[in-house]
Amino acid sequence: MNIHFTSLEQLNISNIWGPREQDVSDLSFHSDRIDPPSIFFCIKGSTEDGHKYILDAIQKGAKVIVGTNEKVLEQSSSLHPDLTFISVKNIRQTMAIIAKYMYKKPDESLKTIGITGTNGKTTVAAYVRSLLSLLGIRTGSIGTTGIWSDNQKLPYKKSTPTTPESLDIFRICRQLSDLKNDAVAMEVSSIALDQYRVEGIDFDVAIHTNFSEEHLEYHKTIEHYRDCKLRLFKQAKTAVVNIDDDGMADEILETYTGPLITYSLESDTDADLFASKVNVDEDGSYFDLTYQNQTYELFVPVFGDYNVANVLSAIGCALHLGYTMNEIIHVIGKLEGPQGRFEVISKPNNQKVILDYAHTPVALNRLIEEVKKLKYERLIVMIAGIGIRDFNKMPKMAQMIEGQADEIVVTVDHPGYHDPQEVVDQVMTGFKEPTASNIHTSLTRKEGVEKALHLSNEGDIILLTSGCINDAQIIKGKEVPHSDTDIIDDYYEKSLC
Ligand SMILES: CC(=O)N[C@H]1[C@@H](OP(=O)(O)OP(=O)(O)OC[C@H]2O[C@@H](n3ccc(=O)[nH]c3=O)[C@H](O)[C@@H]2O)O[C@H](CO)[C@@H](O)[C@@H]1O[C@H](C)C(=O)N[C@@H](C)C(=O)N[C@H](CCC(=O)O)C(=O)O
Ligand SMILES: Nc1ncnc2c1ncn2[C@@H]1O[C@H](COP(=O)(O)OP(=O)(O)OP(=O)(O)O)[C@@H](O)[C@H]1O
């Protein structure tokens, strides 16, 4: 594609050296991933400075270099006068603008649904994808569980755990649009909002799930974390808001001026969508849904009150997109959720293994509350300290679980560059009685899972929380393959022999 940089709207170029136009076919923010002829974006990150890799990028076929360091760009231009060097104020914002242009505004040919919240983004993205697909609108998704079109998982090498960088998002949207998808449900993390990863997308629907303390290793203050999340609602045509959430629902309601649907599980509510009489059995949840003075009796194959709330948010989204409640309730019983979120696996001896990605104290608390509604003899819970996350959170996980389970196993997820013992020790500081005989430790997730299974007897529930990113454990900067389900299958195969 031929791009004439000085005529590209909103680019806010501070300075340009070399030709004003170039033929390019690819974009990259990593010097190792250049597919020539390409534009290379120099990002100054937390550990590296992309400007250091300009020469490398040029050798691999970059024709245009965009960055923020004028001195470096000007010097490089004098050595490569046939290439274009552009300096801008905000590199990530510029990257999004160029990506949107390069991939021919693919977001505008899709219904875009952005989901934010401390917990529930992955679950709601899966529910929205499933519900809209059941309603006949082919929907993909972008988030922690990877990239999905309406009917398959698409190959994609992640560079971030949840929300990709803008140029990947626009590339994925182009791919989804070419695959004849009509909509995309996208998890939008606070970090993504801070880093302009969804810049330029005018979301058809923005969904809020809830807000509690997370990601302070990045945001430093809770106010910054909240402000970043609120940005999603400044770029949304309609919104769906959980008014039971004390964390940030009020702030959205105060500032958002577009069409709004609120949802709630609480009895004294004036929410638009309201679920009551929630009952759970082996197959899922039954509840009464009230909307516009009518009450509907629903069954959804999901577990946990919070997942009923997540279902309400997906229903709100479908209503915003023009579906009627009758159309929605006709299909809602077939709703599908994501893997590893209240995933119940029945095992011999009337045992159940439940996999759930809960990794915040709030999520863990709610999860335990919901699991206790099921039938079981004893409850065995594995929790983990996540080495690559906030160390302050770790003792809070221990405080939350103490006294709530018959056996507790403390382990480590993604130690990163930390010694696993250091992570386990940090979790253990949260227990009032860390030497209690029902508290066990393991220095790897694999051993943790095995220990939890070994502690179980007939009729027990084994709840394995926290979890893997990309089916791997991140150890010293490397992704080491890991699968809970393989370990579980192995354990039961051996125990049956
Ligand atoms: C803190 C953070 O947001 N980190 C992201 C950020 O990294 P960074 O700023 O530290 O980058 P860096 O490593 O210093 O490198 C700077 C630049 O030099 C480039 N480079 C580097 C080396 C090289 O050889 N050549 C080269 O060109 C890099 O591509 C980058 O553009 O930019 C990188 C490039 O996109 C991301 O891969 C990286 O995500 C890392 C993997 C990460 O863990 N991010 C987390 C914190 C994150 O974004 N999480 C949220 C929320 C998850 C949740 O919901 O819980 C998410 O949305 O995923
Ligand atoms: N609405 C909710 N309220 C509170 N907890 C929830 C809610 N939805 C899900 N959870 C809990 O949070 C865990 C993580 O859910 P999910 O993966 O959907 O969230 P997420 O926001 O995508 O988190 P991450 O981006 O870190 O993966 C679930 O396994 C569940 O225990």
Burial track 377-410 (b if 16+ CB lie within 10 A, e otherwise)? ebbbbbbbbbbbbbbebbbbbbbbbbeebbbbbb
The Cα–Cα gap between 391 and 388 comes to 9
pTM: 0.87
Which of 357, 372, 463 should be mutated for ligand 2, with most atoms under 8 A from CB? 357
Walking along the chain (497 residues) 10 residues at a time, the average pLDDT comes out as: 83 92 95 94 92 96 97 96 96 96 96 96 96 97 94 88 95 97 97 96 98 81 91 97 95 96 88 94 90 95 92 98 97 92 90 92 91 93 92 94 97 95 96 97 96 96 86 88 94 84
The pLDDT score that the predictor gives to residue 6 is 82
Q: Is the Cα torsion angle 150, 155, 161, 167 positive or negative in sign?
A: negative
Minimum-distance ligand 1 atom for the alpha carbon of 40: 27
Report whether 139 belongs to an annotated binding site.
no
Q: How many CB atoms lie within 10 A of CB 51?
A: 18
The pLDDT score that the predictor gives to residue 394 is 94
The Cα–Cα gap between 461 and 447 comes to 18
The Cα–Cα gap between 357 and 177 comes to 30
Structure tokens at 150: 């309406």
Q: Is ligand 1 within 6 A of the CB of residue 351? A: no
The Cα–Cα gap between 453 and 449 comes to 6
Alpha helix ranges (H) inside 287-408: 305-320, 325-331, 361-371, 393-401
Question: How far does residue 14's CA lie from ligand 2's centre (Å)?
Answer: 42
The closest residue, in CA terms, to atom 28 on ligand 1 is: 30
Residue showing tokens 């274009």: 84
Ligand nearest to the CA of 30: 1
Q: Is ligand 1 within 6 A of the CB of residue 470? A: no
Residues with a CB atom less than 6 Å from ligand 2: 117, 119-123, 144, 162, 187, 209-210, 306, 309-310, 341, 356-358, 363, 366-367
The Cα–Cα gap between 247 and 119 comes to 12
Minimum-distance ligand 2 atom for the alpha carbon of 118: 21
* Phi-psi sector, 398: left (phi>0), alpha (psi -120 to 50), beta: alpha
Which strands sit side by side in the sheet containing 84-88, from one edge to the other? Answer: 13-17, 84-88, 62-67, 38-41, 26-28
Q: Is ligand 1 within 6 A of the CB of residue 416? A: no
Domains of the chain: 2-102 (3.40.1390.10), 106-332 (3.40.1190.10), 343-495 (3.90.190.20)
Q: Residue 152 class from Cβ within 10 Å (0-12 exposed, 13-18 middle, 19+ buried)? A: exposed
Residue showing tokens 């309406």: 150
The pLDDT score that the predictor gives to residue 47 is 86
Cis-peptide into 37, omega within 30 deg: yes
> What does residue 293 show for φ and ψ, rounded to 5 degrees?
65, 15
Is residue 99 within 8 A of residue 166, CB to CB? The reply is yes
The closest residue, in CA terms, to atom 42 on ligand 1 is: 160
**Interface pTM (ipTM) of the complex?**
0.95
